[in-house]
């Protein structure tokens, strides 16, 4: 007899197999019990017929509680009506544990209750689907970047200096060396690594002490920072577009079951793979926003509503590029055609997903960088190493940062980002 996982069950029709898992749901009618089993790879209906099993097995079946862990042996059969759906006709049952009364019943629970029980909530079908979409997104990112010649060179989490401004830093005491900060982005470090490997990326947790309590903000989230030597502004956008298309394509290919569980309409995603992305300069975006009735002033950052207005009729994500340099970080290169503008870019996703990527061509002129570091009130001594990169073989280069949970939120079509990371950290939540 073969041990198998639910995902492979279709290749064992009419054969006897054993499956280990948990009881997700069950119902009984007279002498027949229907057990919905999950084993991590999928969900399966197992049918226990009183006449086909021993008295002990039948008694155990009656005692099973939600989330009891078990091993079932039986014959695989095709679902009588549904294509590609299989069932297990149970012959034997071994119970690893009869679970205590499970706190998350199959009914509506409030979000705070579910968040308090996140360690258990992860087992629900919906959370299972999101975790798996997250995994597909991560794999697709790694796959695309390797395909494009990027080498993974991960960045430290403890850092001596700020990357994205000083207002959102988490400080931690660091032995006799004073304070360290949890990284806001690994960008500055991968800028160093491009001079070794040409194109590189990191992928890991970053931290922002941002008090934003929106559906898109976490205090700890995962970011993929990519950086490439000799790549300038336009090509930077091309790489980003290629990456997003690749992720969406992989999700469409590999997440059909997950999308069905989440009732996610995939039509908009198909268009994203096929059509070229839209590009608007910041100036054009402001003009468009005014036409749409927004009261945003030139020089302001785009808010949630503005991003919504700019993408509402677009079938594809929209690049907003060349922002006023005054609202962008010190490392962004000035636009040679207009010194007041920066060669940066934000990619705004469709379907209300908001900003997915932030990126820029980097300033390669050392004098200008020194001025900008002073202007931003940063401690120059902390950036000496970074300025070395502009001393020894400075090259034009660009990069970008993709927020993993923003991408997962968009792909899954869920409303709140807290469901897009296994254990979310937000302003109000540190547990479990
Ligand atoms: P930026 O600050 O735009 O750029 O961040 C890059 C991307 O990270 C995601 N993101 C967040 N996700 C969840 N919660 C948050 N609080 C949060 N903040 C940002 C977004 C965003 O587009 N170093 C630059 C990138 C670069 O130029 O290479 C940076 O960090 O998806």
Task: Output the DSSP codes for 171-219.
Answer: EEE-GGG-EEEE-S-SHHHHHHHHHHHSEEEEEEEEE------STT--S
- Report helix, strand or coil for 61: helix
Looking at every residue in the chain, the average pLDDT score rounds to 96
Question: Across the strands, what pairs with 402?
Answer: 224, 357
- Closest Cα to residue 226, out of 186, 195, 273? 186
Distance 329 CA to ligand 1 centre (A): 12
Q: Whose CA is nearest to atom 11 of ligand 1?
A: 403
Ligand 1: list residues with CB < 6 Å: 163-164, 185, 187, 208, 210, 217-218, 221, 223, 225, 355-360, 399-401, 403, 405-406
Q: Whose CA is nearest to atom 22 of ligand 1?
A: 357
Q: pTM higher than 0.95, yes or no?
A: yes
- Closest Cα to residue 33, out of 23, 42, 18? 23
> Which tens digits make up the pLDDT trace of 306-318?
999 999 999 999 9
CB atoms within 10 A of CB 65: 13
Two structure tokens written together for 322: 């060349």
Total residue length of the chain: 432
CATH class in words for 6-97: mainly beta
Distance 356 CA to ligand 1 centre (A): 8
**What pLDDT was estimated at residue 298?**
96
**What pLDDT was estimated at residue 164?**
84
Distance 399 CA to ligand 1 centre (A): 12
Rounded to 5 degrees, what angle do the CA atoms 36, 42, 48 make?
25
> Which tens digits make up the pLDDT trace of 140-170?
999 999 999 999 999 999 999 888 888 899 9
Q: Where in the chain is the domain with CATH 2.40.50.140?
A: 6-97
> Which tens digits make up the pLDDT trace of 284-340?
999 999 999 999 999 999 999 999 999 999 999 999 999 999 999 999 999 999 999
**What pLDDT was estimated at residue 172?**
96
Q: Whose CA is nearest to atom 9 of ligand 1?
A: 403
Ligand 1 nearest atom to the CA of residue 219, by list position: 16
Rounded to 5 degrees, what angle do the CA atoms 207, 211, 212 make?
95
- Report helix, strand or coil for 22: strand
Distance 206 CA to ligand 1 centre (A): 9
Distance 222 CA to ligand 1 centre (A): 9
Distance 214 CA to ligand 1 centre (A): 15
Check: CATH 2.40.128.20 for 118-420? no
> Residues in the chain with pLDDT < 70?
none
Euclidean distance between CA atoms 12 and 3, whole angstroms? 11
The terminus-to-terminus CA distance of the chain in angstroms comes to 40
CB atoms within 10 A of CB 113: 12
Residues whose CB is less than 8 angstroms from the CB of residue 304 and which lie 6 or more positions away in sequence, other chains included:
214, 216, 354
Residues whose CB is less than 8 angstroms from the CB of residue 82 and which lie 6 or more positions away in sequence, other chains included:
none
Task: Say if residues 37 and 6 touch (Cβ distance below 8 Å).
Answer: yes
Pocket perturbation via mutation, ligand 1, pick of 164, 190, 355 by most ligand atoms within 8 A of CB = 355
Task: Say if residues 213 and 228 touch (Cβ distance below 8 Å).
Answer: no
> Which tens digits make up the pLDDT trace of 80-112?
999 999 999 999 999 999 999 999 988 899 999
């Amino acid at each position: 007899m073969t041990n198998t996982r639910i995902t492979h069950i279709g290749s064992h029709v009419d054969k006897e197999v054993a499956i280990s898992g948990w009881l997700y749901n069950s119902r009984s009618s007279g002498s027949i019990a229907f057990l919905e089993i999950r084993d991590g790879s999928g969900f399966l209906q197992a049918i226990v017929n009183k006449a086909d099993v021993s008295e002990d097995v039948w008694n155990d079946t009656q005692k099973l509680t939600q989330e009891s862990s078990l091993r079932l042996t039986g014959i695989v059969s095709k679902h009588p009506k549904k294509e590609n759906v299989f069932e297990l006709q149970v012959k034997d049952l071994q119970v690893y544990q009869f679970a205590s009364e499970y706190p998350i019943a199959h009914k509506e629970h409030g979000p705070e209750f579910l968040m308090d029980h996140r360690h258990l909530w992860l087992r629900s079908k919906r959370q299972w689907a999101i975790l798996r979409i997250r995994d597909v997104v991560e794999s697709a990112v790694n796959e695309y970047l390797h395909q494009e010649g990027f080498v993974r060179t991960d960045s430290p989490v403890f850092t001596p200096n700020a990357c994205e401004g000083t207002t959102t830093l988490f400080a931690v005491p660091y032995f006799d060396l004073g304070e360290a900060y949890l990284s806001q982005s690994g960008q500055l470090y991968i800028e160093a690594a491009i001079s070794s490997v040409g194109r590189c990326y990191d992928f890991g947790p970053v931290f922002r002490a941002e008090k934003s309590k929106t559906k898109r903000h976490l205090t700890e989230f995962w970011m993929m920072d990519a950086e490439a030597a000799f790549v300038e502004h336009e090509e930077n956008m091309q790489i980003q577009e290629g990456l997003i298309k690749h992720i969406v394509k992989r999700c469409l290919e590999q997440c059909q079951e997950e999308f069905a569980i989440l009732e996610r309409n995939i039509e908009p995603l198909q268009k994203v793979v096929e059509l070229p992305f839209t590009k608007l300069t910041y100036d054009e975006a402001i003009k468009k926003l005014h036409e749409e009735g927004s009261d945003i002033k030139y020089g302001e950052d785009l808010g949630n509503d503005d991003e919504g207005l700019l993408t509402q009729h677009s079938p594809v994500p929209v690049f907003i590029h060349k922002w006023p340099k005054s609202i962008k970080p010190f490392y962004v290169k000035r636009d040679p055609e207009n010194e007041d503008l920066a060669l940066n870019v934000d990619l705004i996703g469709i379907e209300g997903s908001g900003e997915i990527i932030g990126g820029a061509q980097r300033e390669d002129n050392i004098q200008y960088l020194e001025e900008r570091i002073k202007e931003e009130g940063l401690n120059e001594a902390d950036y000496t190493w970074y300025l070395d990169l502009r001393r020894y073989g400075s090259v034009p280069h660009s990069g970008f940062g993709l927020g993993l949970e923003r991408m997962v939120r968009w792909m899954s079509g869920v409303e709140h980002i807290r469901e897009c990371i296994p254990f979310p950290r937000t302003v109000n939540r540190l547990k479990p």
